[in-house]
C-alpha cells in the first residue's frame, strides 16, 4: 500500500463539514465520504513543530524534546517515519507550504517546499510511495494581504470583529479542502492508498491567545481526523477518545515499520488505549506589530509551560510556573469543582509517564542558534 498523510495547519475541529454545516466543501465531502471520521481526537500540543515531531515519531513532546515552537532539535537516536519507510523501499515525497518551519529538526531535510507541479511529478514515480503534505493556507493570516499572523487578524480581534476573522478562516479552509485536497484524492486509486487527513492544532482567537501555541484550551487541542484503510470498509474507531500520538503506532502496524516503538500511543483501530493522554506546550514570547503609533506588544500568558492529562471524562491542566490548575469535562470544557486528591492524582500520573518513558533520557544534540528558524518565527508572529 501507499501512504498519503495530510496535515492541515490550524484546522479546528469545527472547521469541517462533518462538524459544521456552514463549511461548504461539496467536492471534498464527496471524495472523503467513505472515510472514517472522528470528532474525539486531541492534539499533543498547540504549536506546529511539537505536533509534527509527534506525528513522525509517535512520542510526546517531553520524549522527543520539541516542547515549543522554538525548540531547536529532537533528542538523538529517535527514528522517524520518513527514514523508516525509505528503508523499506518506499519513495518518499514530503512537501510543505512553509517548509522552513521545520528547520533544524532531524526530519527537516526530507521536507521540500511545496511548489506547483511537485506533487504531480512525485506521483509519476513507481513503487510504493509515502506522500506527506503540509497545507499552510489555513494558518494565520488566512490569506490576508499583509501576510502577518498578528497583523490583520490581531487588529480585527482588538476591534471586536471576531466574526470577520472567522469568515476569513472558514473561506481559507474551504479553499484548501476544495482546491488542493479534493482534486488529489480524486486522482488517486484509493484502493491502493492509506489516507490520513488531520489538523495539527486549532485556533482560539481569545484575548489571551490571539495566536495559537499559548495554551492547552480545547479550541487549540481538538482536531478533526479522517482515516481510510483500503479493504476495511473504514469502520468507526472503537474508542471515544484518541490522540495524534496514536498516528505513528497505527502506521507502524499498517506498514510493518519495525521501529521498535516503545511510546505511549496505540493503534487507532484497536480497543486498547492508554489510561490517560497527555498534551503540553511551552509558550514562547509573542510580538504584535500594532501600528506606527502604537507600542509593540510582547509577552506570553502567565504560568509558563503547561501540561494536561485527560481521559474520556476529565481533563486536568497544570501551569508549571504558577501552580494554577483546572479540572474540566474532557469534551465540553465545562469546569468541574475542585475534588479532593485530584491534583495529587494527576501530578503523580504525569511524573510516572516521564519516569517510565523509554526516550525522555536520550541526549539532546548541541545546536547553534537557528537564525533561519528565528527569522521565520518572527515573520509568523511566534517571536
Q: Which residues contact 56 (CB under 8 A, 6 or more apart)?
A: 80, 81, 82, 107, 248
pLDDT at 57: 98
Per-residue model confidence (pLDDT) at position 194: 98
DSSP string, 81-105: HHHHHHHTT-EEEEEETTGGGGTTS
Checking if the pLDDT of 130 tops 50, the result is yes
| Each residue's pLDDT tens digit, 80-101 | 999 999 999 999 999 999 999 9
Which of 16-20, 138-142, 210-214, 320-324 shows the highest mean pLDDT?
16-20
- 219 alpha carbon, distance to own chain's centre: 13
Is the per-residue pLDDT at 174 higher than 70? yes
Q: Examine the pLDDT at 179 and tell me if it is beyond 80.
A: yes
Q: Is beta strand 129-135 parallel, antiparallel or unpaired with respect to 2-8?
A: parallel
Q: What integer pLDDT is reported at residue 297 of this predicted model?
A: 44
CB 331 within 8 A of CB 361: no
pLDDT of residue 183: 98
Note the helical H segments in 200-321. 218-221, 247-255
Confidence (pLDDT) at 298: 43
The pLDDT assigned to 352 comes to 97
Residue 34, SS3? coil
Domain boundaries, the chain: 2-380
* Mean pLDDT of the region 365-380: 69
Joined together, the cell numbers standing for residue 377 give: 518565527
Mean pLDDT is highest, among 110-114, 145-149, 377-381, for 110-114
Mean per-residue pLDDT, 236-245: 95
User: Is residue 204 predicted with pLDDT exceeding 80?
Assistant: yes
CB 194 within 8 A of CB 230: yes
pLDDT in tens, 7-57: 999 999 999 999 999 999 999 999 999 999 999 999 999 999 999 999 999
Selecting from 2.60.260.40, 3.30.450.150, 3.30.1360.120, 3.40.720.10, what CATH number does the domain 2-380 have? 3.40.720.10
Report the mean per-residue pLDDT for the chain.
Answer: 91
Q: What global pTM score does this model have?
A: 0.94
Cell of 163: 466574526
- Name the packing angle between helices 48-57 and 247-255 (round to 10°): 30
What is the band of 374 on the pLDDT scale with cuts at 50, 70, 90?
A: confident
H/E element, 298 = strand 297-299
Please state, in angstroms and rounded to a whole number, the distance separating the CA atoms of residues 146 and 229: 41
Q: Parallel, antiparallel, or unpaired: how do β-strands 242-243 and 222-228 relate?
A: unpaired
Amino acid at each position: 500500500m501507499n501512504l498519503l498523510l495530510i496535515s492541515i495547519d490550524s484546522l479546528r475541529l469545527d472547521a469541517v463539514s462533518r462538524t459544521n454545516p456552514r463549511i461548504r466543501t461539496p467536492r471534498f465531502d464527496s471524495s472523503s465520504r467513505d472515510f472514517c471520521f472522528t470528532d474525539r481526537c486531541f492534539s499533543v500540543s498547540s504549536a506546529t513543530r511539537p505536533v509534527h515531531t509527534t506525528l513522525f515519531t509517535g512520542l510526546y513532546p517531553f520524549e522527543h524534546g520539541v516542547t515549543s515552537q522554538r525548540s531547536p532539535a529532537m533528542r538523538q537516536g529517535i527514528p522517524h517515519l520518513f527514514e523508516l519507510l525509505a528503508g523499506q523501499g518506499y519513495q518518499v515525497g514530503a512537501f510543505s507550504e512553509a517548509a522552513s518551519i521545520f528547520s533544524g529538526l532531524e526530519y527537516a531535510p526530507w521536507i521540500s517546499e511545496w511548489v506547483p507541479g511537485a506533487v504531480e511529478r512525485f506521483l509519476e514515480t513507481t513503487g510504493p510511495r509515502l506522500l506527506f503534505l503540509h497545507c499552510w493556507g489555513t494558518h494565520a493570516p488566512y490569506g490576508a494581504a499583509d501576510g502577518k499572523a498578528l497583523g490583520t487578524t490581531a487588529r480585527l480581534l482588538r476591534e471586536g470583529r471576531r466574526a470577520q476573522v472567522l469568515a476569513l478562516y472558514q473561506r481559507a479552509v474551504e479553499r484548501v479542502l476544495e482546491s488542493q485536497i479534493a482534486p488529489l484524492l480524486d486522482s488517486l486509486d484509493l484502493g491502493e492508498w492509506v489516507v490520513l487527513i488531520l489538523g495539527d492544532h486549532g485556533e482560539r482567537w481569545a484575548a489571551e491567545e490571539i495566536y495559537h501555541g499559548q495554551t492547552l484550551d480545547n479550541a487549540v487541542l481538538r482536531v478533526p481526523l479522517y482515516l481510510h484503510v483500503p479493504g476495511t470498509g473504514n469502520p468507526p474507531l472503537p474508542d471515544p477518545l484518541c490522540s495524534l500520538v496514536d498516528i505513528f503506532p497505527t502506521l507502524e502496524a499498517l506498514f510493518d515499520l519495525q521501529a521498535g516503538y516503545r511510546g505511549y500511543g496505540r493503534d487507532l483501530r484497536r480497543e486498547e488505549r492508554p489510561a490517560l493522554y497527555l498534551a503540553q506546550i511551552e509558550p514562547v514570547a509573542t510580538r504584535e506589530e500594532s501600528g506606527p503609533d502604537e507600542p509593540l506588544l510582547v509577552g506570553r500568558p502567565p504560568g509558563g509551560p503547561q501540561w494536561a492529562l485527560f481521559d474520556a471524562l476529565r481533563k486536568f491542566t497544570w501551569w508549571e510556573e504558577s501552580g494554577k490548575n483546572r479540572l474540566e469535562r474532557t469534551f465540553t470544557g465545562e469546569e468541574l469543582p475542585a475534588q479532593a486528591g485530584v491534583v495529587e492524582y494527576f501530578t503523580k500520573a504525569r511524573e510516572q509517564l516521564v519516569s517510565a518513558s523509554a526516550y525522555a533520557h536520550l541526549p539532546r544534540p548541541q545546536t547553534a542558534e537557528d537564525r533561519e528558524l528565528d527569522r521565520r518565527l518572527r515573520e509568523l508572529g511566534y517571536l
